[in-house]
Chains A and B, each alone.
Chain A
Amino acid sequence: MKKIFVFIFAIICSLTLVFATGCDGFGEVKFDPVNKEDVKIGMICLHDLNSTYDANFIYSMYNALDNLGMSRDQLKLFTGIDESEDCYNKAVELAQSCNVVFADSFGHEDFMIQAAKEYKNVRFCHATGEKAHLVNLNNFSNAFASIYQGRFLAGVAAGMKLQEMNKDKAAEEQNWKIGYVGAYPYAEVVSGYTSFYLGAKYVAPEVTMEVRYTSSWFDFAKEQAACNALIANGCALISQHADSMGAPEACETKKVPNVTYNGSTASACPETYIVSSKIDWAPYFEYMINCVISGEKIATDWVGTIETGSVKLDSLGKNAASGTDEKIEEVKAKLVNGTLHVFDLSTFTVGGVTLNSVMANVDFDEAYTPDHEAVKDGYFDESALRSAPYFELRIDGITEISDKAN
């Protein structure tokens, strides 16, 4: 028995010695135009239609196909794919028959890059990722949208609601505290809650905010618990950046207004739903498919905006404050014509100081070292240097509570 183990071990060691090193070179690959009818699209989703996050991608893809007059048979969709080797496997499987493969979750990125290196004649697109501008592959690209604008508008609706709730109260009875349930303490979430907060502050200067993390993107119980903890801590309004219905349903039970993300909860939570900001991925999918048809390169970093129709607000809930619609339209017009910026440095302070320069960590590295100046004309220019957000400042007025027990 021992001999056989020694034998196996020896084989492994010798193979290692011989083959442990190796490297590929990357050449430029030109893509040929493809007939619209022959385009095959592969899609990899972390969860299935039960997750608001993935459902948003899947329905956007259906809309894009309908808008382009393509058949849904041209889509191959894998759902419930972990952020693991599984993603690489499915990407490879899709690469056998598809012209373009899209993955929707942040953690899929490494595995998509791995597949992109091996299948150079297939395009790989990844939402929310941050490495495309670093790996420099012709067939790998990132996409995101300037959702901070959408969150700012949702924040305006939240501020209006707080104004309405506090209107007839004496100064000492007023409550301007917002609660926010976040998944992880990294830029995508920080940028999101800060823009939401600044939106609320734009109409209600007194607001403060408390943020709690769940350390998970989809965990009904944890999101519900974090939401309840925020309400117990005196928050008058809740918003969240995580994918289950945990927080909205906790709000509906406790009758606390809720500003949601990635789709209206008006049917499930009619009493407390205020507004929902979301990314509509259909414009990106249309762009991506059109690039495949024409044989063009897909932009390494694509950012959707309000103007491209990528950043959207769902219709208001019945209990939103009156006048919210008009206010949102007014602010939206300012954001589009550039007279208002979400991260205007004059609207917030960090440690009591107004900043005039911010170094951001744009090029991913293990130590998260800041590497690029992100301030332009007095505002933090989010999503200009890469598609994924990189605003990571902790501004005054927002308290983060990291619960280690989670």
Chain B
Amino acid sequence: MENNITSIKRHEPLFKIFKRNDMPKWKALLIRVCATLGAIIFSMILASIIIGKNPFEIFGTMVSGAFDLPWRLIYDGVVLLGFGIAIVPAFKMRFWNMGANGQVLVGCLAACLVMFYFGNKMNNVILIIIMFIVSLIASIIWAVVPAIFKAFFNTNETLFTLMMNYIAIGLVAYCNFVMAKGMRETPGIINNLTEKGWITFHFLPPTIKSYILPIIVIILITVFIYIYITKTKQGFEVSVLGDSEKTARYAGMNTKWIMIRTLIISGIICGIIGFLFATCVHHCVTVNLCGGKGFSGILIAWLSNFNPLIMAGVSLFMSFIDNGTSSVTATYSLGSNALSSVIIGLIFFAILISEFFIRYRVVRRQRTTKEAKEC
């Protein structure tokens, strides 16, 4: 009997991880701030060793570089927020939509194709309306196909949406090649001279004129999604389905339809972002259009517990780090973006680690010394 108990104790793992809910909010916030500051200080020291300048000067460059174009900073943050918001309804439902990149990409591609082939053939307003509609349709298709397969055949949505990204990238590369008649990689800025299919506000300063509309629209979408998730019946259905599919089914909900409907909403948001990219900002579509924003969006949504206000803050912070580090590599002419990637990685690593310790408690195995004595 005695032997038995000790053997059980010996198999107890060295560390145990418990979920914790008791951490006060101020303490959680303090941990996050300290982790972020610690990572920034560490990366500045690292950068100063590599660049050979004093770390305060490098930090100064980072801050001034990021705030050089304040509208740009806000725009970048808001776009990241848009990507995050686009996946929120699906994630609330525990539908792991990894495909925001691809969904935005096809939306932008559809708008660009219309802009390229019909740019000089119709009235500008009608053209823009058609661009808007085709963007929505394309993005909805990209979002809904995985949802339909998940609803009816129970396929894995993570892989499915991820793969849809690559199809979108291939499609964009091919369409660009066709538009450029096989002579170039891309056709360049579409309708550069005629500005057909563009929405630009020429009376505004150049630093704002392309960004103002996307900023306004994405903020409106954010408000809308916040209301949709927290205040409407449909939003409630989504969270019930996320918590337990069986509960949802026994409560008489049509789970298949809810899944598809929610992904239609994701698709619509991505379509709007893609349309705004095509008509306001980029006026062309490239395979790297979204970069990793679709995935950063997931990180943002997850870190902020799907709270839109916190998401906005995290997005702005991310765009600050992004623009700041890119400015550091440019100012010191490092000739490669590796250092900025390292800094970004370090900062997010610190945030994720702190998040782990905020959400979980790690307990070390007790009485190890006593056990050793007994043996």
Asked whether A15 is an interface residue with its Cβ less than 8 Å from the other chain, the reply is: yes
Cα(A56)–Cα(B358), bound, Å:
49
Asked whether A109 is an interface residue with its Cβ less than 8 Å from the other chain, the reply is: yes
List residues of A whose CB falls within 8 A of some B CB: 1, 4-5, 8-9, 11-13, 15-17, 19-24, 43, 48-50, 58, 72, 75-80, 82-86, 89-90, 92-94, 96-97, 106-107, 109-111, 113-114, 118-119, 184-186, 215-217, 368
Please state if B207 and A19 are interface contacts (CB–CB under 8 Å): no
How many interface residues does B have (CB within 8 Å)?
A: 54
**With A5-B268, A85-B281 in contact, do A12 and B331 touch (Cβ < 8 Å)?**
no
Which A residues are in CB contact (< 8 Å) with B184? Answer: 106-107, 184, 186
Asked whether B255 is an interface residue with its Cβ less than 8 Å from the other chain, the reply is: no
Which A residues are in CB contact (< 8 Å) with B330? Answer: 76-78, 90, 94
Contact sample, A vs B, 29 pairs, CB 8 Å cutoff: A8-B217, A9-B132, A17-B125, A19-B199, A19-B200, A19-B203, A22-B201, A48-B336, A48-B337, A49-B336, A50-B336, A58-B335, A75-B333, A79-B336, A82-B286, A83-B188, A84-B282, A84-B288, A84-B289, A92-B207, A106-B184, A107-B185, A107-B188, A184-B183, A184-B185, A185-B183, A186-B184, A215-B182, A368-B183
Cα(A22)–Cα(B232), bound, Å:
42
Please state if A1 and B232 are interface contacts (CB–CB under 8 Å): yes
Give residues 306-323 of B contacting A (CB, 8 Å): none
Shortest Cβ gap from B58 to chain A (Å)? 13
Please state if B128 and A76 are interface contacts (CB–CB under 8 Å): no
Cα(A75)–Cα(B333), bound, Å:
7
Which B residues are in CB contact (< 8 Å) with A17? Answer: 125
Which B residues are in CB contact (< 8 Å) with A97? Answer: 68
> What 4 pairs across the A-B complex have the smallest Cβ distances?
A22-B202, A118-B206, A77-B333, A48-B336
Query: How many contacts A-B (CB < 8 Å)?
Result: 135
Which A residues are in CB contact (< 8 Å) with B331? Answer: 76
- CB within 8 A of A107: which of B124, B186, B206? B186
**With A15-B199, A22-B203, A110-B189 in contact, do A8 and B282 touch (Cβ < 8 Å)?**
no
Cα(A217)–Cα(B186), bound, Å:
12
**With A8-B220, A83-B186 in contact, do A92 and B69 touch (Cβ < 8 Å)?**
yes
Asked whether B42 is an interface residue with its Cβ less than 8 Å from the other chain, the reply is: no
Which A residues are in CB contact (< 8 Å) with B202? Answer: 19, 22-24
List residues of B whose CB falls within 8 A of some A CB: 65, 68-69, 72, 124-125, 128-129, 132, 177, 182-186, 188-189, 192, 195, 198-203, 206-207, 213, 217, 220-221, 224, 228, 232, 234, 268, 272, 281-284, 286, 288-289, 326-327, 329-331, 333-337
Please state if B188 and A16 are interface contacts (CB–CB under 8 Å): no
Which A residues are in CB contact (< 8 Å) with B199? Answer: 12, 15-16, 19-20
Shortest Cβ gap from A117 to chain B (Å)? 9
Which A residues are in CB contact (< 8 Å) with B326? Answer: 78
Which A residues are in CB contact (< 8 Å) with B268? Answer: 5
Which B residues are in CB contact (< 8 Å) with A78? Answer: 326, 329-330
**With A20-B125, A82-B286 in contact, do A186 and B183 touch (Cβ < 8 Å)?**
yes
Shortest Cβ gap from B345 to chain A (Å)? 16
Shortest Cβ gap from A44 to chain B (Å)? 9
Which B residues are in CB contact (< 8 Å) with A107? Answer: 184-186, 188
Which A residues are in CB contact (< 8 Å) with B221? Answer: 8
Please state if A111 and B189 are interface contacts (CB–CB under 8 Å): yes
Please state if A79 and B337 are interface contacts (CB–CB under 8 Å): yes
